[in-house]
């Protein structure tokens, strides 16, 4: 991109980014001002604005100066706020918008220019909050004209709250943006919170944080911050068309891994929720609110949690939970914790093909005990009596080995009582039967078997006609829920 001399002078030489002394070939030196790299290729290096990144110097003002220099009007060419390798210590004495260190305020006049907060690679560029002032956000994204903030991204940076900052990134009305390959850690309330514009727009139900891609991030550790207790990601009201995938949540993360409140068409897939070892840790995923619709939780892994793997509350319509692996719910003091727990009012709920391994602390693998209509099908649990689906749910799920067996009816008998070896929570289970000739030539009708009675501890298999004589039929059975 060719620039005129006047543009360089106007945007750089007079803005005091630092002086430089240059040796002259004929002797002596000439003193002038540095020209920032962003003049030529729209990369705004925070070190060009005085940031040091040595973990000692307070780099707050230098980074604010770099943010202030980001283009706000003109062409739609993208720009990058770049943090080279280093630890950028923040010890502010004043806060922007009263509650944050850095306000990324993109107004309608800024157009659709894409801005990316960019580090030097995973773990290489740390932004470290070191102020005694608590209850603050490090970054805050907001549009001062009550509109969306579009195309404002984070990539390859670590945002460290050091158990002092409340929120790592607070985004209000955030859209068409991504956060990738970042590390968010040690904030006391939430590592990343996405809010709608409620309070900025008159319609509280407007879906105005949308089209976000949050992927490949590491979200770990948190301090004690009250009700949310350091939750990983909080989609706080009316998020839409968002995908959260291939992130890792864990290592002493308090609160929830992911908290979704009144979201629609959000897909959460292929994330890992691991090692929530703090006694204050909550569920891996919590879906709540009064307007949730058509969300999907697919192919995630949960291990070493303290409470539920997936918890459902509020009013949800069309929620799909499929293909998740839930293992080792390890609350030290066992309580009523479940692999998947539904306590709200749901319509069209589908819990399909999940694999839930038993632990001593797990009360139920799947517990659906509230109103709604849906399907609980194709799930596998590794312990008996651990699927409960009340109301109008249809339950047809695979069981462990001791939920299968063989019974034999011989001679003049027409019934056999089977004790599976595990107590069922109710009699809504189903029994699949398969009949084969065991010995001799059984009478016609003796291979037609059905279940004639069920209790929580036994069921009775009956054949229409006794096999007769010394003949017998074998009946393979398998319980489904």
How many whole angstroms from its chain centre is CA 471?
A: 59
Enumerate helices (H) and strands (E) in the chain, giving the number of each: 3, 46
Q: What angle do CA 395, 401, 402 make, to 5 degrees?
A: 85
Q: Quick one: pLDDT at residue 16? A: 44
Q: Quick one: pLDDT at residue 156? A: 96
Q: Quick one: pLDDT at residue 146? A: 62
Per the structure block, which two tokens stand in for 333? 């003091």
Cα distance between residue 90 and residue 123, in whole Å: 17
Cα distance between residue 211 and residue 243, in whole Å: 8
* Surface-to-core class of residue 199, CB atoms within 10 Å of its CB (0-12 exposed, 13-18 middle, 19+ buried): exposed
The answer to whether 156 touches 182, Cβ cutoff 8 Å, is yes
How many whole angstroms from its chain centre is CA 253?
A: 12
* Surface-to-core class of residue 50, CB atoms within 10 Å of its CB (0-12 exposed, 13-18 middle, 19+ buried): middle
Q: Quick one: pLDDT at residue 3? A: 40
Q: Quick one: pLDDT at residue 22? A: 66
Q: Quick one: pLDDT at residue 345? A: 82
Q: Quick one: pLDDT at residue 202? A: 39
Q: Quick one: pLDDT at residue 41? A: 55
Q: Per DSSP, which regions of 188-309 are E strands?
A: 190-195, 209-215, 218-220, 231-236, 239-245, 248-250, 258-261, 264-269, 272-274, 285-288, 292-293, 296-298, 301-305
Q: Quick one: pLDDT at residue 56? A: 97
> Residue 307 to residues 259, 277, 329, 375: CA-CA distances in angstroms?
14, 10, 6, 23
> Residue 204 to residues 95, 110, 207: CA-CA distances in angstroms?
27, 25, 9
Can you give the pTM of this predicted structure? 0.76
pLDDT, tens digit only, all 481 positions of the chain: 344 434 434 344 434 455 667 677 777 777 766 555 444 458 999 999 999 999 999 999 999 999 998 887 655 668 899 999 999 999 999 999 999 999 998 764 555 678 999 999 888 999 999 999 999 999 999 877 667 788 899 999 999 999 999 999 999 888 889 999 999 999 988 999 998 765 443 344 454 678 899 999 999 877 665 556 678 999 987 778 899 999 999 877 778 899 999 888 999 999 999 877 666 678 899 999 887 889 999 999 998 887 888 999 888 899 999 999 998 776 555 557 788 888 878 888 888 889 887 655 667 788 887 666 678 878 888 766 677 766 545 555 655 545 678 889 998 999 999 988 777 777 878 888 888 777 788 888 888 899 999 998 899 999 999 988 888 889 888 887 6
Q: Quick one: pLDDT at residue 361? A: 60
């Amino acid at each position: 991109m060719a620039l005129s001399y006047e543009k360089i002078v106007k945007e750089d030489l007079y803005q005091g980014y630092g002086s430089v002394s240059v040796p002259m070939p004929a002797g002596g030196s000439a003193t002038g001002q540095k020209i920032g790299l962003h003049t030529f290729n729209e990369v705004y290096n925070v070190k060009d604005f005085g940031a040091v990144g040595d973990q000692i110097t307070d780099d707050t003002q230098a980074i604010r100066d770099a943010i202030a220099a980001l283009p706000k009007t003109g062409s739609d060419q993208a720009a990058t706020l770049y943090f080279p390798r280093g630890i950028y210590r923040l010890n502010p004495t004043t806060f922007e918008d009263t509650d944050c260190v850095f306000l990324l305020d993109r107004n309608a006049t800024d157009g659709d220019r894409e801005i990316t907060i960019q580090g030097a690679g995973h773990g290489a560029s740390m932004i470290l909050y070191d102020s005694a002032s608590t209850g603050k956000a490090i970054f805050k994204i907001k549009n001062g004209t009550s509109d969306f903030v579009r195309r404002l991204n984070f990539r390859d940076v670590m945002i460290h709250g050091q158990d002092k900052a409340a929120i790592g990134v607070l985004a209000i009305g955030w859209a068409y943006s991504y956060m990738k390959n970042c590390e968010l850690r040690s904030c006391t309330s939430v590592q990343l919170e996405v809010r709608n514009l409620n309070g900025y727009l008159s319609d509280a139900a407007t879906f105005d944080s949308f089209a976000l891609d949050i992927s490949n991030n590491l979200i770990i550790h948190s301090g004690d911050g009250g009700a949310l207790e350091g939750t990983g990601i909080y989609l706080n009201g009316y998020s839409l068309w968002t995908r959260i995938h291939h992130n890792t949540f864990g290592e002493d993360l308090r609160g929830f891994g992911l908290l979704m409140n009144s979201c629609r068409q959000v897909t959460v897939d292929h994330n890992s929720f691991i090692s929530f070892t703090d006694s204050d840790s909550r569920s891996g995923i919590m879906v709540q609110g009064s307007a949730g619709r058509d969300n999907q939780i697919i192919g995630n892994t949960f291990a070493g949690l303290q409470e539920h793997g997936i918890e459902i509350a509020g009013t949800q319509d069309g929620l799909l939970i499929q293909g998740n692996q839930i293992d080792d719910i390890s609350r030290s003091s066992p309580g009523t914790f479940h692999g998947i727990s539904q306590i709200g009012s749901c319509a069209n709920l589908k819990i399909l093909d999940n694999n839930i391994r038993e632990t001593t602390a797990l009360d139920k693998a799947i517990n659906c005990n509230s109103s709604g209509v849906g399907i609980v099908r194709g799930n596998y649990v590794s312990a008996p009596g651990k699927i409960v689906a009340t109301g109008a749910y249809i339950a047809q799920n695979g069981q462990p080995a001791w939920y299968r067996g063989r019974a034999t009816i011989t001679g003049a008998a027409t019934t056999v009582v089977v004790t599976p070896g595990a107590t069922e929570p109710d009699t809504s289970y189903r029994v699949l039967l398969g009949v084969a000739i065991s010995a001799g030539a059984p009478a016609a009708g003796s291979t037609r078997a059905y279940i004639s009675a069920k209790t929580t501890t036994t069921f009775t298999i009956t054949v229409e006609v006794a096999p007769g004589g010394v003949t017998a039929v074998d009946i393979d059975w398998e319980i489904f829920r």
